[in-house]
Chain A
Amino acid sequence: DLQMTQSPSTLSASVGDRVTITCRASHSISSWLAWYRQEPGKAPKLLIHKASILADGVPPRFSGSGSGTEFTLTISGLQPDDFATYYCQQYNTYSSGMFGQGSKVELK
């Protein structure tokens, strides 16, 4: 079964910092990867699809890269709204493990 693993689980940062989150797939998913941000108490919001394409309205401080089994999400210049939890999601196949376990960005 296809599984997604994110790292780190938690990272501490300050406003203005550049942060990177990694997502690894248990086998190749080409570029069929999405990233979401979830603020506390809110629904997830789509940030990126097809590994590197920004969703409508998403600011350019977010960027994604990778293909195959290894992917990264980079936030260049953290803003207060960015202290949240980020999830990667593969959409190569439907499975219980479509999402990574999440990476929480907290205030240092």
Chain B
Amino acid sequence: EVLLVESGGGLVKSGGSLRLSCAASGFAFSTYGMNWVRQAPGKGLEWVSFISTSSTYIYYAESVKGRFTISRDNAKNSLYLQMSSLRADDTAVYYCARGLTIVGAAYFDHWGQGSLVTVSS
């Protein structure tokens, strides 16, 4: 069974930093591109970042570019999101999602349960 478990969320002050982790199991982690998708309270889904299997290709949404850094450790079956210069509008549940890339981007066939990040001003 594919399992994605996020951790590291919490309350942080505006301008602060936080690192999210996603532990993957039940599949060959190193062979899948991985993504972070977030959802602000009561709002829709927003794709945040993608990392390819060997970290060669990395993409970010404009809203987080220069502030967030995605990374992965295939030996540990883990995905990370380092978030810095956090703002109130970064408050959201952050989901780790496995991607299936057919063309330019991926659709997401498995999702974690999410980790809540709250940025206070």
A residues adjacent to B (C-beta < 8 A): 30, 32, 34, 36, 38, 42-46, 49-50, 55, 87, 89-96, 98-102
Contact = CB atoms under 8 A, between A and B. Distances in A.
Given A34-B107, A44-B111, A94 B45 contact: no
A5 to B, nearest CB: 12
Interface in B99-121: 100-114
Contacts of B105: 32, 90-94, 98
A interface, over-half SS: loop
Majority-rule SS of B interface residues: strand
Given A96-B47, A96-B62, A99-B46, A91 B104 contact: yes
9 contacts: A34-B108, A36-B108, A42-B113, A44-B111, A46-B107, A94-B47, A96-B46, A99-B46, A100-B44
Given A34-B108, A44-B111, A94-B59, 5 more contacts: A42-B113, A43-B111, A87-B45, A89-B108, A93-B104
B102 A94 contact: no
B63 interface: yes
A43 B114 contact: yes
Contacts of A38: 45
Contact of A43 (B59, B61, B112): B112
Contacts of A49: 100, 107, 109
Contacts of A50: 102
Which of A34, A42, A44, A92 has the most chain B CB atoms closer than 10 A to its own CB?
Answer: A44
B109 A46 contact: yes
A98 B106 CA distance: 10
Contacts of B44: 87, 99-102
